[in-house]
Structure 1
Amino acid sequence: MGTLNELFDPDRVAVVGATAREGAVGRAVTSNLLDDFDGDTVPVNPNYEAVLDTPCVDDVADADADVAVVVVPPSIVLDAIEACGEAGVRNVVVITAGFGETGEDGAARERRLAELADEYDLNLVGPNSLGIMSTPSGMNATFGPENALPGGLSFMSQSGAFVTAVLDWANDNGIGFKDVVSLGNKAVLDETDFVDHWGDDEETDVIIGYLEGIEDGREFIETARETTQDTPIVAVKSGRTSAGAQAASSHTGTLAGSDKAYEAGLDQAGVIRAESVDELFDSAGILGSQPLPDTDSVAIVTNAGGPGVMATDAVGDADLDMASFTSETSDRLAASMPEEANIHNPVDVIGDADVDRFREALEITVEDDNVGAALVLAAPTATIDFGDLADAIEAVSEEMDAPVAACLMGGDRTREPKQQLQAKGIPCYFDPARAIDSLATLARYRDIKAREYAPPMAFDVDRERAREILSTVRDRDDNRLGVEAMELLDAYGIPTPDGEIVDSPDRAREVAEGVDGDVVMKIVSPDILHKSDIGGVAVGVADDDVADTYEDLITRARNYQPDATVLGVQVQEMVDLDDGVETIVGMNRDPQFGPLLMFGLGGIFVEVMEDTTFRVAPVSEPEAREMTEEIQSAPLLRGARGRDPVDVDAVIETIGRLSQLVTDFPAILELDINPLVALPDDDGGTNAAAVDVRLTVDPEALDAPESDAETDPKPLDAEEPTDD
């Protein structure tokens, strides 16, 4: 594929399947282009001499077009695409539905569509797309009811219906766009391609999106990371269900759900995730119009005590800070405000304030170096005119390097002042919480821009030994491995306690005698996942009791599940849990993002507490360190209530080694190390111990190259109709 510049800035657009029939998609697309497009519109249909009074050509080869919009029936779309390729048209928008969203026949057509696009090097949008828009040229190559207003937002959506709804709402609210794309089924071009293009587009201030899925999560992360250094990305991601986790057999799989990968992946990509349409446009609006704050400190100037308290609460909820004024600022406010006024943050100029008092308080406040952002919050009174207040806010904002937002709480009297402020790039809200959340978005994007991305952690490991251990699943009926795979961890340098799996009481005794102190004994069976629940674990076993304990564990397993495959008993060195912290490190392979790492509080309470955090592998050292800092129980790692701090660096290294393992072997579908016992720092000692492990392996993937797993395409919506 080549550059997308011509897709959005063509001189000539051909409508393949243009028609004069009322209600037809081909007519709507042609009409929209003829209404506003600065370039030439060429209808293509051998059955017409003209469409909407515009001369028609029989074949796309006669159109000399830069972009072809295809609206023919699905049975002849492939012929139309081939004709475009032969004619040298390199940009194609397929509006026609009836492809991957309709079943196997449609999916086969879509695969062939992608093959043709590759053969002819086509930039292809769709199929099953509403179309595309670009306001600088007035191009509306969609069958939507209206064009977009011009502006600095570039917008992509996997739902065509969402595009039409948003544009209708945006036009009423004066919100403009640079480019708009209905992604459709994403047979060729997907969200990553448009993020890459708009990141280089000087006319795009903010990229926004409605996403239902991401085709290649890792490529998206890499592209978005580069883009967000200059251009913010805000997205709504729908589909928060955990249905994908229901079939999982590991703790990680159970806790990951379908949304955790997106949450982690979007965060690692630097994408700001919005929870609603309001939040999407609040975030986009302020990112496109206001400077970034130097600090997280917010100053509030208000004439209403109650709303001022609401805004103060919102500052705390948004993880921002209330600015602490310098003594000079406090003295200036005291000298200029009535005695009844509150000169501390939030500054309350009280209900009888006029615009001059508001303006003076705001000017004094924003000159304080401790103030990173300001909110002007006003309720209607007889002494203040919102239009004059808007003038004052605008004047002060022009002199500021810090962001400012307004909150005018009222009805009709706020409408025109609000429009005035927003036309000058000053966001204005009714709800104080929305205003503060928008300021928080600026702080979040500032932090995203400041990120320094490090390369993934890498270690010297024994890949061939790891492959041999994983390959043992080929010789068994089950594709799950348990403690019998502890050597897999050893191959990747993850520390494990001394021990061995044995198949007789005598051998159990021999192994125990070679271990210092008492031992832990566990039943080894791929069919018995929760060994503790059946009494399949014995802790603190002395040498003299090892043989009897072996027999007892085997009997318990047989009584619990007579048909279970029992591989023996693991005899293992005891790890002192009293001195350490039980954590869990795991992985569940996501179809879009690949290996999703989990770290959290481990042991038997992992699924009850759900104190976990996630990252898409491979991870860097800073990302692994962040994981150890994000869980609620992080103070336990650093020494809480008089306990010695554990060796966090050993935990971080373990996360990095597991990240490398699951990245190297796409055959590993899910894996848990639970518990990974984090121990106090002991110079020269092993300060983390993987006590137990279980994993699920795809035997067919073992012969695949050691690289990222392939991602399966996800069927997308099919809301758009098929043309005649």
Structure 2
Amino acid sequence: MPSSLRPFFKATGVAVIGASANPRKLSHGILKNLIEYGYKGGIYPVNPGSEDILGQKCYPDVAAVPNPVDLAVIILPAPATPEALEACGKRGIKAVVIISGGFKETGSDGQELEAQCLKIAADHQMRLIGPNCVGLVNLHNGLNTTFISGLPDVGGIGFLSQSGAVCGGVVDLVQGKKVGFSHFLSLGNEADVTETDIIEYLGDDPNTNVIAAYVEQIRDGRRFLEVAREVSRKKPIVLLKAGRTSAGARAVSSHTGSLAGSYSAYQSAFKQAGVIEVNTVAELFDVSMCLDFQPLPTGKRAVILTNAGGPAALTSDSLSAHGIILEDLEAETRDVLRQHLNPAAQVGNPVDMLGGAEPADYAMAVKQLISDKNVDIVIPILVPQSLVNPAGVAQAIVDASQGSTRPVLTCIMGDISVNEARLVLQGNRMPMFVHPESMGRVLEAMLDYAVWRSQKIEAVAPLLNVDRAAVEKILRAPGAAKVFGEAETRPILAAYGIPMIKGGMASNPVAAAKLADEIGFPVVMKIVSPQILHKSDVGGIYLNLQNETEVMAAYEHMFTEIGRKMPKAKLEGVMIEQMAGSGQEVIVGMRRDAGFGPLLMFGLGGVYVELFKDVSFRVAPVSEKEALQMISETGAGKLLKGFRGTPASDLDAVVSCIQRLGQLALDFPEIEEVEVNPLLVHAQGRGALVLDGRIILN
């Protein structure tokens, strides 16, 4: 646990700089929350114009504040903040929350002001949360430096947000529903303390069982990946990422590329770190609540217990869409259910007890289903009826589930009439849903996390046959180009052990014919020009040339036609290459992400890659297992494994190419982008060959 963050959550005394006696001021709300929620440490309002506020003695400046004090909250106009921060540093305070706005979110002047604050903090070895934030809460000791009205219940979810407004909305959303939190944080501009710092802290916090996060941007992606991967082994991280679309990205001032945009990097990092990504605020807290309250499922076999067919059908559809199956119950379980339920009840799966089912029926059935060996997950559903008390059914489910090692997720449809039932269930750490279609996604997330955590971490093995010096000589030669075509890319890839199709470059028809003869007919001819990236678009590829005469004629024709289409293009010559045999064409590439570094790509290759976008991504470096997972996520991967009688292709060769491309990118940060398209993959055991490629430097 990072000790420098401890005062933010376990402060012995808090100075509120800019505290106001005006109830309409944010600083008044912060002071009021510190007093009202049970915080036992020192509370010191700082305001030279007041003697006391809310019964607390005021101090003219932070230097006058008595010990103990190790946390300050600044609520002053932005231009006054650096002076107040300097005073905190001289007072020896090591943790400061800057609530005020008016910093980098407002433009260059605010950015300069924020940089000034960061320098002051560094000079005094202080840590900062904010600026432009709502503050934070430790619900287990009552330390509340926010101005938010109300608080959720105490529990095991640690929530952090890069949006203060989302924090306020979430408090109102979960209040009074027995969804418990350990910590609640708004990080604002993250001038110093980041989401990764907080995840690392909460990873070691004994009161936190689940970490939930709303993030818009992760600036140090590689550190996030390292920390999240370690924390996820101990407890789940559930994360909602905003700015996934181009419109959303503009809203949070982030950048997305065309194919391998920044969101692809986030998705890849989340997969590799075991982070559970969700799509909505509702999912964020549904998943977090279930992970906090219930054990992880050990399998994907669910049973539905219901008093109505429609909600059971909706639940079944949701489960099926998310990979959860309805298994047949054991014969013994069905016999017991028949003996105790209405004779007209259906005792298959779903178990439909009909509309008159009472609390005793639910209690008996839940007990039987929990003990069935064919059941991993139990889902009781109730549609309230006039003669059945929902709270009574809820209590019956609670009692019957005591000591269960299988997760039990309950759906009681409705709103006003089910509030008491929700308090009964969630007060006993049993999640309740009101929409039957919500549970499939939640259970899928729980299952995915259980599988990820059960897997061993596979180390990335060192690569052999890598000539780093040869690549360094090419890339860092005086006057080296920024865009390398196939001719310049070939020796770089070859130096990292990536196999190339036999070939070379020729700058006139005679040389082309001679080279073709040395390679052996038939051959392929490709145009070489720094202005032409997609050769096939301009007629820059001729196939199956059978002899020297055809090669020379093709050379002349190609130059004439392309010269007519692109008169400004510099035509440097042609590549002459061996005609490749049969195989599956795939693409392997890399694009450098600003936050996460080299982002590897695999997918269906050839001229249709932009059309179908059948691609998957991972952040380099990748283990053999991660590369295979990457391949299996695509349609191209299914083709490689053999499709409708076609032989399986050489997956090991593809894995090697992916790993070597990742190592190349890690070794040379000046490489912005690499594209190998196509990589021709032969049958299993026969390897793969690069047929074309290019490199772009930053």
User: What TM-score, normalized by structure 1, do the two folds share?
Assistant: 0.91
- Which residue of the partner structure matches residue 163 of structure 1? 167
Q: Secondary structure at the match of 2:504?
A: strand
Within 2, Cα distance between the matches of 1:62 and 1:324? Answer: 72
Find 1:466's aligned residue among 448, 463, 471.
Answer: 471
Question: Quick check: 1:566 aligned with 2:571?
Answer: yes
- Equivalent residues in 2 for 1:523-538 (5 A)? 523-538=527-542
- The question of whether the paired residues in 2 share the 8 Å contact of 1:155 and 1:208 is answered with yes
Q: CA deviation at 1:409?
A: 2.0
Q: CA deviation at 1:631?
A: 0.8
Question: Quick check: 1:351 aligned with 2:352?
Answer: no
Find 2:59's aligned residue among 57, 71, 77.
Answer: 57
- Equivalent residues in 2 for 1:88-167 (5 A)? 88-167=92-171
Question: Quick check: 1:366 aligned with 2:367?
Answer: no
Q: Which string of whole-angstrom CA distances, capped at 9 and with x for unpartnered residues, describes residues 381-422 of structure 1?
A: 455432322122111110421000111123433221122111
- Equivalent residues in 2 for 1:305-324 (5 A)? 305-324=309-328
- Which residue of the partner structure matches residue 661 of structure 2? 658
Q: Which string of whole-angstrom CA distances, capped at 9 and with x for unpartnered residues, describes residues 235-269 of structure 1?
A: 111001247999xxxxx953222321111112222
Cα 1:339–1:25 shift into 2, 3 Å: closer
Within 2, Cα distance between the matches of 1:474 and 1:375? Answer: 67
- The question of whether the paired residues in 2 share the 8 Å contact of 1:245 and 1:253 is answered with no
- The question of whether the paired residues in 2 share the 8 Å contact of 1:216 and 1:593 is answered with yes
Within 1, Cα distance between the matches of 2:669 and 2:247? Answer: 22
- Which residue of the partner structure matches residue 86 of structure 2? 82
| Residue type of the alignment partner of 2:129 | V
Q: Secondary structure at the match of 1:128?
A: coil
Q: Which string of whole-angstrom CA distances, capped at 9 and with x for unpartnered residues, describes residues 314-341 of structure 1?
A: 1111111212323333343344445533
- Which residue of the partner structure matches residue 416 of structure 2? 412
Q: Secondary structure at the match of 2:440?
A: helix
Cα 1:245–1:490 shift into 2, 3 Å: farther
- Which residue of the partner structure matches residue 677 of structure 2? 674
Question: Quick check: 1:697 aligned with 2:697?
Answer: yes
Within 2, Cα distance between the matches of 1:480 and 1:193? Answer: 39
- Equivalent residues in 2 for 1:267-666 (5 A)? 267-381=271-385, 384-460=388-464, 461-471=466-476, 474-476=479-481, 479-544=483-548, 545-576=550-581, 579-666=582-669
| Residue type of the alignment partner of 2:27 | G
Within 2, Cα distance between the matches of 1:481 and 1:105? Answer: 43
Within 1, Cα distance between the matches of 2:436 and 2:669? Answer: 48
- The question of whether the paired residues in 1 share the 8 Å contact of 2:589 and 2:602 is answered with yes
Within 1, Cα distance between the matches of 2:419 and 2:99? Answer: 39
- The question of whether the paired residues in 2 share the 8 Å contact of 1:518 and 1:574 is answered with yes
Count of matched residue positions in the alignment of Structure 1 and Structure 2: 687
Cα 1:243–1:303 shift into 2, 3 Å: closer
Cα 1:395–1:132 shift into 2, 3 Å: same
Cα 1:167–1:383 shift into 2, 3 Å: closer
Q: Which is further off, 110-119 or 324-333? A: 324-333
- Which residue of the partner structure matches residue 258 of structure 1? 262
- The question of whether the paired residues in 2 share the 8 Å contact of 1:2 and 1:123 is answered with no
- Equivalent residues in 2 for 1:198-213 (5 A)? 198-213=202-217
The answer for unaligned runs of 5 or more in structure 2 is 251-255
Question: Quick check: 1:178 aligned with 2:195?
Answer: no
| Residue type of the alignment partner of 1:84 | C
Within 2, Cα distance between the matches of 1:140 and 1:464? Answer: 56
Q: Secondary structure at the match of 2:73?
A: strand
Q: CA deviation at 1:604?
A: 1.0
Cα 1:643–1:237 shift into 2, 3 Å: same
Q: Secondary structure at the match of 1:142?
A: coil
Q: CA deviation at 1:160?
A: 1.0
Q: Secondary structure at the match of 1:201?
A: coil
- The question of whether the paired residues in 1 share the 8 Å contact of 2:177 and 2:426 is answered with no
Say what the alpha-carbon RMSD is for the aligned residues: 2.2
- Which residue of the partner structure matches residue 711 of structure 1? none
Identity within the alignment, %: 38
- The question of whether the paired residues in 1 share the 8 Å contact of 2:19 and 2:28 is answered with yes
- Which residue of the partner structure matches residue 193 of structure 2? 189
- The question of whether the paired residues in 1 share the 8 Å contact of 2:319 and 2:439 is answered with no
| Residue type of the alignment partner of 1:571 | I
Q: CA deviation at 1:41?
A: 1.1
User: What TM-score, normalized by structure 2, do the two folds share?
Assistant: 0.94
Highest relative contact order (Cα 8 Å, sep 6+), 1 or 2?
A: 1
Q: Which is further off, 204-213 or 454-463? A: 454-463
- Which residue of the partner structure matches residue 12 of structure 1? 13
Within 1, Cα distance between the matches of 2:85 and 2:330? Answer: 67
- The question of whether the paired residues in 2 share the 8 Å contact of 1:583 and 1:601 is answered with yes
Q: CA deviation at 1:675?
A: 0.6
